[in-house]
């Protein structure tokens, strides 16, 4: 029988990392997807020129990354329920580092696309384990606080990644970016070696039976309804990320360096959001905050569609409410979904990460069409999916299948 400490953390000591070190490692692991994409966003136009291929082909290195990441996540999470978090994390990081090296050594665009798929599969192991460890170690209000800290650390990646990417491009080629990702893999691998196992009860079935636990989790109506509702916000978010360099560099004529500053400025609000949620949650119910955030997403969409084409400053400012609202939803949505599933945490974590990525890929594909006005399309996406998510949330949140989170006071 699993027991808990009075402060809301479960019994899982970390001899070498300690609690703060474990949180830092989880945050770093959670940042692998923005690091693997945002770091080389400034290089996309140059990569198309370098390989002498159309931008649509280079964009496959992003689109296919998310598709294969989403699929691989569904495999790695259940395996971590069977074999433990640490072994799966070590395998994932070794594969990720290897794939990053191969990306840097690619001699044509098709090799790069293939190695990016390899990198995506490895990333699935990394992020699945990171989310599952939070559920292994924390519960209740303390889990929500831990998630807020992890989300904030995770959102630092979109701030620093384009800036680092622009700097690397100023002293090297796009290949240097993948060497940086190789270094990130080695750094995380060192932390994973120091991490002690966090799972207490493992699945005893074979590999096929372990993967089939995904179906068991999906049969939980509370989890599945929330999964669909919260994943929709990824559509406009990933549409912006995948098109941002083309909007700022090609449409507005900014340099790669200026683009990185605008992108980082937007991402600052991603970091502020989770911490602001913890402040607001002391005064307002999480359901009320989520409802308000979805309405803000829709309002931001109207602003982007109306004023976004005027200048890069108007575009950035119009998009900020959407960025802040989207990041505010992160901690309570993840905590509420994890609360629905008391077992098969790895499978639940996989489905959460996969659904967000699948929806994000939809956004990336929608924005990749040959639109004459991408900014207007972004505004429409924010408005429609903000409003749709609000309606679904009102229908789902008070349903009989939803297990509410107990908000006992706890601090980290």
pLDDT digits (tens, 9 = 90+) for 249-289: 888 999 878 887 888 788 788 888 888 998 898 899 999 99
Q: Is residue 409 part of a domain?
A: no
- Cβ atoms of 303 and 379 closer than 8 Å: yes
Give the Cα separation of 407 and 143 in Å (integer).
Answer: 10
C-alpha Rg value of the chain to the nearest Å: 20
- pLDDT for 9: 53
Residue 407 pLDDT: 55
Quick one: how far is CA 100 from the chain centroid?
A: 19
Residue 7 lies in a domain: no
Distance CA 389, CA 61 (A): 29
CATH at residue 198: 1.20.1250.20
Per-residue pLDDT at 3: 45
- Within a 10 A sphere around the Cβ of 187, how many other Cβ atoms? 14
How would you classify residue 281: left for phi > 0, otherwise alpha for psi between -120 and 50, otherwise beta?
A: alpha
- Specify if 412 maps to a domain: no
DSSP classification of residue 9? B
Residue 9 falls inside a structural domain: no
11 domain residue, yes or no: no
C-alpha closest to that of 165 among 28, 34, 30, 43: 43
Structural domain that includes position 149: 18-396
* Regions of the chain where pLDDT drops below 50: 1-4, 6-8, 11, 408-412
Taking residue 384's Cβ as centre, other Cβ atoms within 10 Å add up to 16
In a domain, 336, yes or no: yes
Specify if 55 maps to a domain: yes
Instruction: Answer yes or no: are the C-beta atoms of 157 and 37 closer than 8 Å.
Output: no
pTM over 0.75: yes
pLDDT tens profile 106-155: 989 999 999 999 999 999 999 888 888 988 888 877 888 888 878 877 77
**Token pair of 176, please?**
């240097």
Three-state DSSP state, 4: strand
- Please give the helix or strand (H or E) that residue 354 lies within, else none: helix 345-367
> How many domains are there within the chain?
1
User: Which residue pairs, CB below 8 angstroms and at least 24 apart, start in 43-52?
Assistant: 43/165, 43/169, 43/174, 43/177, 43/256, 44/245, 44/246, 45/245, 45/246, 45/249, 45/250, 46/169, 46/174, 47/109, 47/174, 50/173, 50/174, 51/108, 51/109, 51/112
DSSP conformation class of 309: T
* Residue 208 located in a structural domain: yes
């Amino acid at each position: 029988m699993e027991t808990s400490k009075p402060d809301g953390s479960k019994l899982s000591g970390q001899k070498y990392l300690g609690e703060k070190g474990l949180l830092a490692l989880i945050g770093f692991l959670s940042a692998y997807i923005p690091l693997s994409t945002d770091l080389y966003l400034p290089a996309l136009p140059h990569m198309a020129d370098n390989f002498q291929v159309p931008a649509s082909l280079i964009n496959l290195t992003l689109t296919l990354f998310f598709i294969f990441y989403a699929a691989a996540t569904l495999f790695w999470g259940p395996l971590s329920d069977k074999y433990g978090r640490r072994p799966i994390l070590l395998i994932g990081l070794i594969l990720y580092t290897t794939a990053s090296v191969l990306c840097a050594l690619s001699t044509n665009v098709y090799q790069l696309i293939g190695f990016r798929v390899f990198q995506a599969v490895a990333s699935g192991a990394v992020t699945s384990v990171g989310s599952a460890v939070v559920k292994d170690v924390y519960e209740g209000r303390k889990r929500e606080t831990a998630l807020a800290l992890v989300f904030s650390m995770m959102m630092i990646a979109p701030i620093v990644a384009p800036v680092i990417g622009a700097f690397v491009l100023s002293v090297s080629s796009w290949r240097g970016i993948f060497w940086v990702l190789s270094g990130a893999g080695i750094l995380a691998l060192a932390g994973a070696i120091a991490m002690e196992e966090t799972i207490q009860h493992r699945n005893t079935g074979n590999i096929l039976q372990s993967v089939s636990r995904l179906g068991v989790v999906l049969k939980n109506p509370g989890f599945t309804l929330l999964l669909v509702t919260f994943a929709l916000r990824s559509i406009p978010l990933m549409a912006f990320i995948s098109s941002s360099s083309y909007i700022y560099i090609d449409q507005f004529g900014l340099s790669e360096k200026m683009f990185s500053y605008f992108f980082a400025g937007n991402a600052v609000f991603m970091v502020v959001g989770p911490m602001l949620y913890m402040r607001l949650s002391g005064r307002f119910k999480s359901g009320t905050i989520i409802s308000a955030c979805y309405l803000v997403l829709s309002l931001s969409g109207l602003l982007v569609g109306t004023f976004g084409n005027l200048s890069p400053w108007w575009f950035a400012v119009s998009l900020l409410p959407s960025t802040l609202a989207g990041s505010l939803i992160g901690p309570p949505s993840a905590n509420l979904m994890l609360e629905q599933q008391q077992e098969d945490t790895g499978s639940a974590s996989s489905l959460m990460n996969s659904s967000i990525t699948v929806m994000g890929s939809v956004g990336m594909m929608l924005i990749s069409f040959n639109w004459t006005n991408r900014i207007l399309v972004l505004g429409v996406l924010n408005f429609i999916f903000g409003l749709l998510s609000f309606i679904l949330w009102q229908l789902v949140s008070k349903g009989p299948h939803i297990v509410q989170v107990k908000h006992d006071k706890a601090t980290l």
